């Protein structure tokens, strides 16, 4: 059964780095992973293919209206991870969220999920805004669970709370549920306590924690994930542990939802 996950977090929180390392860790376990970048910066998947930028769906739609091939939208990266970048409008024009909606609609329209048959789909979504296209991955038919990345910094927790509130507000529509909180440590005062309190407030829990590490930047400078560049490191081990915890949380959430239906 296909597992569909959306990962949200404010800009600069380490969301794309975390998502790419989770994708790489799952690929190493033999899983077929599709990572869909839903940030207008379109850099979600770069560390999965040598730091190179791939063409976005929105760019391709503008360049080849009505003549776009599925293979042009997709690049296979490390471990066979299927990479897609939604992209955004030309700066100063259009709605950034529209790129997400266009990308998801195009993937469905062109049978992307059926062709590539991923075991896991991960939507990497900017969480500073949770409206319009940015809420699309939460909607019915897309992600099953949403995971929120935060540190103990006030602005990160504020953004995370907005995301969690949106999930709660969408609950009656059959949208994705909150799968858990990922703590990406910035080593601020009382960090774990603050994030644990935030998780408890939204009836959730911390599913994994990541330490600050120089290896993250070193790997990015190499155009790689930590899992690829430093596979035997403690940091790579943390990403692998997190990847397993995320899958377990999704499965637990599905079991609970099925039990409620019965």
Q: Which residues are known to be catalytic? A: 10, 15, 41, 128
**Is-contact 54 75, C-beta < 8 A?**
yes
d(CA 166, CA 114): 30
Which residues make Cβ contacts (< 8 Å) with residue 230, sequence separation at least 6? 215, 218, 219, 236
For the purposes of burial, counting CB atoms within 10 Å of the CB of 84, is it exposed (0-12), middle (13-18) or buried (19 or more)? Answer: buried
SS3 242: helix
Tokens of 220: 């990015």
CA 207 to chain centre: 15
């Amino acid at each position: 059964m296909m597992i569909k996950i959306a990962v949200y977090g404010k800009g600069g929180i380490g969301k794309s780095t975390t998502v790419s390392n989770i994708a790489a860790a799952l690929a190493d376990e033999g899983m077929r992973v599709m990572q869909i970048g839903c940030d207008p910066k379109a850099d979600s998947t770069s560390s999965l293919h040598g730091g190179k930028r791939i063409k976005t769906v929105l760019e391709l739609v503008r360049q080849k209206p009505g003549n776009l091939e599925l293979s042009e939208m997709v690049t296979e990266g490390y471990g066979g991870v299927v990479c897609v970048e939604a992209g955004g409008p030309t700066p100063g024009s259009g709605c950034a969220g529209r790129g997400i909606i266009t990308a998801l609609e195009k993937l469905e329209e062109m049978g992307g999920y059926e062709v590539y048959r991923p075991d896991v789909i991960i939507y990497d979504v900017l969480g500073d805004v949770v409206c319009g296209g940015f809420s699309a991955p939460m909607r019915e038919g897309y992600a099953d669970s949403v995971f929120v990345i935060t540190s103990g910094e006030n602005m990160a927790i504020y953004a995370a709370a907005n995301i969690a509130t949106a999930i709660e507000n969408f609950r009656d529509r059959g949208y994705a549920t909150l799968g858990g909180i990922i703590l990406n440590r910035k080593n601020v005062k009382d960090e774990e306590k603050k994030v644990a309190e935030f998780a408890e407030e939204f009836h959730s829990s911390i599913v994994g924690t990541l330490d600050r590490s120089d290896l993250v930047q070193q790997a990015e400078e190499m155009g790689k994930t930590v899992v690829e560049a430093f596979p035997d490191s403690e940091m790579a081990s943390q990403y692998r542990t997190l990847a397993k915890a995320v899958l377990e949380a999704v499965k637990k959430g599905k079991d609970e939802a099925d039990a409620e239906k019965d």
